[in-house]
Amino acid sequence: MRVVSLVPSLTEAVAVTRPGLLVGATDWCVHPADLDVPRVGGSKYPDLDRVRALRPDLVLLNNEENRREDAAALAAAGVPTRVNSPRSVDGALAEVTDLLRDLGTPAEPGWLATARRAWAAPAPTALARRAVVPVWRRPWVVLGADTFAGDVLRRLGVCNLYAEQPERYPRPALEQMLVARPDLAVLPDEPYRFTVDDGPEAFAGIPCVLVSGRHLTWYGPSLAEARGVLAAQLAHPVVAG
C-alpha cells in the first residue's frame, strides 16, 4: 500500500508505525524529524497533481485541516481517501487504532498503548480554571464547542469558556474575551505561533500559559506524552503587565 498523508498527526503515526507505507506528506509534516518523503505542499492547499503523481492507494485527510473541495477532487479522480474527524481524546484513540489496523499493523504499537494508559485517568470532577483558548490572531479565533483540543484541556482540569457556543471556532473580539473575565488564557504555538512577546500582552493582568500546539492539537504519537507536557506547562502561567 502507498499512503499520502495530508495530516501531520497521521503522518507521524504512520511514519513511526508503518514507515514503508508512507510515500508523501505535506510541508507541515515535521515529525518525525528525519522524515524523508516527497512533499506535496500545505495542508490547506496541497498540490493535487503531485499527490496523484505519487500513485497513492490511500490519502489521509482531516475535516479541519484539509478542504472539502480537495477531498472531493481526489475522490473524483478515483483516489481513495480517508477522512478523520476526532472531537475527543477517546475518539482520536479509536480513529487512530482503526487506521493502523486497516493499514495492516500486526499489533498495537507501544506509543499508542502508552497514550491509552496516559489518558485513562478520568478528568477532574471540578474544573478549577475557566480559560479562553485563542488559536489565531488578526482576527482572533478561539476554541469553541466540540473540539479535540477542548477535550484535552477538560481532562486537565481547564474549562473552555466558549465550549457552549454553537460554533466550533468562534471569532470574538478581544474586548468580549476580556469582559468574560477568564481565569486563564491558553496560548498554543500553532496554528498561530503565540510567544511570550506575541499574545500575553493582549490579556494584561490575566495569567497566560504558552503551550505546545503539537501536544494540544495533534493526535498521533504526541498523545503518549501530551498529558504530562501540557500539565507541566499549565502549572507555569505568566502575567503580562
Positive or negative CA dihedral for 91, 225, 228, 208? Answer: negative
Sequence ranges of the domains in the chain: 3-85, 129-239
Mean pLDDT of the chain: 95
pLDDT given for residue 124 in this prediction: 77
Confidence (pTM):
0.93
DSSP state of 84: E
Statement: residue 126 has pLDDT above 90? no
Residue 71's pLDDT band (cuts 50, 70, 90): very high
The mean pLDDT value for 210-236 works out to: 96
Domain 3-85 sits in CATH 3.40.350.10: no
> Which residue type occupies 30?
V
**CATH code of the domain made up of 129-239:** 3.40.50.1980
| pLDDT classification of 87: cutoffs 50, 70, 90 | very high
* C-beta of residue 234 within 8 angstroms of C-beta of residue 209: yes
For residue 191 the three cell numbers come to: 496554528
Per-residue cell: 228: 504530562
- Same fold: 3-85 with 129-239: yes
Q: What is the pLDDT of residues 157-203, one digit of tens each?
A: 999 999 998 899 999 999 999 999 999 999 999 999 999 999 999 99
